[in-house]
Amino acid sequence: MRGTSLDAESVARILVWMSSAFVLAMTVGVVIERTAFELLRVRRLRIANLYSPLVGRALAGDDGALGFLVASPARHRLAVARLLLEPLIDDRDPTRITRTRAIVDALSIISIVDRYLRSWLWWRRAVALRALGVLRLRDHTAAVVAALDDSHPDVRAAALDALAYLRDVASLPAIVVRLHDASLQPARRLAALAAFGPECEDFLLELSQVDAEHLVNYSRALAICGTRRSRPVLARWTHDARPEVRAAAFEALAHVGVDAEEATLAIEALESPDAPVRAMAAYALNGWKGSGQAAVQLGRHLDDAWPVAVNAAQSLRSMGAAGIIELEARASRSDLAGLLARQILSPVGARC
């Protein structure tokens, strides 16, 4: 028993020692990591302060400043590239882009970008892709499209961002096909389509004819880049057996606009047993003033499920006199319909 007790105490002491050593190692690791990060931040700030004036003068056409940049150490080139490229994310002025390209060429930064595209470090690949995008280097479009299959999600996201900047029609089929790729961020997928605008519409409509499984995604895409040409197809989708497809089709119609035929479909869909369909049908009628029955039907849904009621109230407000009459007729009620009517009719609600 004594030997067993001693063995247990020894094991306990060893475990305590190991735990303490592990905690100490983790603490040291965190300190080292934070110290390294701070040193890197300070170094980047110092380099930025050194080169920012030169970059500004070089962009303004100062050959002397450009000469200083060209003579800068190779280890500083990426920091200089960051100073050149980051402003292009928000400033898409063609003159600035042209001048930036000239400086980038003089500094041989593209060769660094090409090397980074092949790097095993994912963040280098992401940096390279964003550089290609903001510089509008369409001769690299194929490489950017290939990066949509990268193993790292941030690199795939950077590739989508780059394609949105490039706006190369050659990449459009790849972007549309990837509309259904769940490994790519939904917002970025749609943003890439939005960059092309109506140029996407024909291809989206063509693909939707042979890919009925993804009509919800096609509807959402057409809500971004569709025009009046999409109305007949979207109207047909409002009869689909799947309620999610019908709802998405009405949502897209709200963006492309409705005529008498689609307005009639939306009014009929207000009686759908599916609340999401009723909600999007009410949304599709926003701004419609051609049918006297639209306002009356919407007024009956002010006490419907909340999403339906809200969309109905907003559409009524957009209809002018006919909608205001329906709202005022219910404003004195104490139920949901009265609450929404009063809110929409109030000065604050009118601005929403």
| CA distance linking residue 68 with residue 61, whole number of Å | 13
pTM value?
0.72
Burial tier of 202 (Cβ tally within 10 Å: 0-12, 13-18, 19+): exposed
* Tens digits of pLDDT across the chain (352 residues): 455 555 666 766 776 677 666 666 677 666 665 665 565 566 667 777 778 888 888 888 888 888 888 888 877 777 787 777 777 766 667 788 888 888 888 888 888 888 889 999 898 899 889 888 888 888 999 999 999 999 999 999 999 999 998 989 899 888 888 888 888 888 888 888 888 889 989 989 999 999 999 999 999 999 999 999 999 999 999 999 999 999 999 999 999 999 999 999 999 999 999 999 999 999 999 999 886 689 999 999 999 999 999 999 999 999 989 999 999 999 999 898 898 899 998 875 554 5
Q: Could you tell me the residue ranges of all domains in the chain?
A: 40-107, 182-277, 285-352
Helix (H) or strand (E) holding 256: helix 243-256
| CA distance linking residue 146 with residue 118, whole number of Å | 12
Taking alpha carbons only, the member of 170, 177, 143, 148 closest to residue 160 is 148
